[in-house]
Amino acid sequence: MKYKLSLIAFAALTSVAAQAADWSDTALTYRHGSKFAEPYGNTDISKNIVGLTHVSGYKYGTNFFNVDMLMSNSKDPASSGSSEGAREVYAVYRNTVDLEKATGKSFKASGVRGLGVTAGFDFNTKTDVGYNSKKEMFVVGPTLMLDVPGFLNVSLLALFESNAPSTSTLVAKRYNYDTHPMITMAWGIPFSVASVPLSFEGFANFITAKGKDEFGGDTAAETNIDMQVMYDMSSAVNASKNTFKVGLEYQYWKNKFGNPTTATVTSTTAGPGAFAKTPMIRAEYHF
């Protein structure tokens, strides 16, 4: 019940902030790759990913929201013996309060644009052959906003994560991991090559182990880096700047969702699927 109330509170906050937005950018995205992997499952999984991203600025800070629909091929089946691929929805929300805007006190320093406090959540639901994830994660912590072209934010967040999977050996019952920290970076840096408008964008999450998993095994520290180089092709189709973007994306995800890539004394390996190295094509339409 407390998780549902928290989700409602965050949704209300998003609505209020959106109504008072000073600026905003909303985009439809499409990604495709054929080298996805899943812990305890297969590698070389093909996925089509359709997403909606919204970022906006308001009087005291910024909002970021993204929801993806991930559609796997049969190498990540929806159920045992099925030729249909798994389906997953993954949503992320972050609200960062800029402390200078909120307090009137400057936090600028050499190389530092400002200081903020970030809070938000991750939520997913997946239907697949093995785990059927129902993740809920709430985050809070300080954010350092570095002074670069575009933006580069570095946050130290406390993660409050739980899941309620349903497997062949586990009936759905919400399980809480240990509270654990994450250092996360998010960036969007414009540049050009021979007058071609490009941008380097992405995020990197470095997450400590989160205690025991639902089955009593040790979890592992997790590294998830997702980055892309995007080309603004808007002028080529007579559209406004930053309307149409295409590019190449790469995801490096070791010990995916905290599942160990290699076995230890107190845990078993989640197999090669716990270490994904995935190139993708990416397209965006901003409106």
**50-65 pLDDT, tens per residue?**
999 999 999 999 999 9
Across 238-256, average pLDDT? 97
pLDDT of 4 > 80? The answer is no
Distances in Å between the Cα of 141 and the Cα atoms of 2, 56, 130, 182, 226 are 20, 20, 33, 9, 21
Across 87-109, average pLDDT? 97
* Number of domains within the chain: 1
Q: H/E/C letters for each residue in 17-81?
A: HHHCCCEEEEEEEEEEEEEECCCCCCCCEEEEEEEEEEEEEECCEEEEEEEEEEEECCCCECCCC
Which single residue is written with the structure tokens 């998830």?
224
> How far from chain centre, in Å, is Cα 157?
14
Other CB atoms within 10 Å distance of the CB of residue 105: 8
The length of the chain, given as a count of residues: 287
pLDDT computed for residue 116 by the predictor: 98
pLDDT computed for residue 13 by the predictor: 54
DSSP characters for 188-254?
EEEEEETTEEEEEEEEEEEE---SB-TTSPBP--EEEEEEEEEEE-GGGGT--TTSEEEEEEEEEEE
Distances in Å between the Cα of 13 and the Cα atoms of 4, 92, 117, 232 are 14, 14, 15, 32
Structure tokens at 204: 């990197």
Q: Residue 263: which pLDDT band, with cuts at 50, 70 and 90?
A: confident
pLDDT computed for residue 91 by the predictor: 98
pLDDT of 2 > 60? The answer is no
d(CA 89, CA 103): 37
Check residue 194 and give left, alpha or beta (phi > 0: left; psi -120 to 50: alpha): left
pLDDT of 195 > 80? The answer is yes
Higher pLDDT, 170 or 239: 239
Q: Residue 149: which pLDDT band, with cuts at 50, 70 and 90?
A: very high
Per residue in 34-49, pLDDT (tens digit) is 999 999 999 999 999 9
pLDDT computed for residue 171 by the predictor: 66
CATH code where residue 154 lies: 2.40.230.20
Q: Residue 19: which pLDDT band, with cuts at 50, 70 and 90?
A: low
Distances in Å between the Cα of 7 and the Cα atoms of 69, 136, 174 are 19, 10, 16
Q: Residue 167: which pLDDT band, with cuts at 50, 70 and 90?
A: confident
Share of the chain above pLDDT 70, in %: 91
pLDDT computed for residue 21 by the predictor: 87
On whether the CB atoms of residues 121 and 90 are closer than 8 A, the answer is no
Structure tokens at 136: 């809920």
DSSP characters for 258-274?
G--SS-BTTB----GGG
Share of the chain above pLDDT 90, in %: 85
Task: Quote the domain boundaries for residue 89.
Answer: 2-286
Which single residue is written with the structure tokens 């790469």?
250
Higher pLDDT, 215 or 155: 155
pLDDT computed for residue 172 by the predictor: 67
pLDDT of 14 > 70? The answer is no
pLDDT computed for residue 3 by the predictor: 47
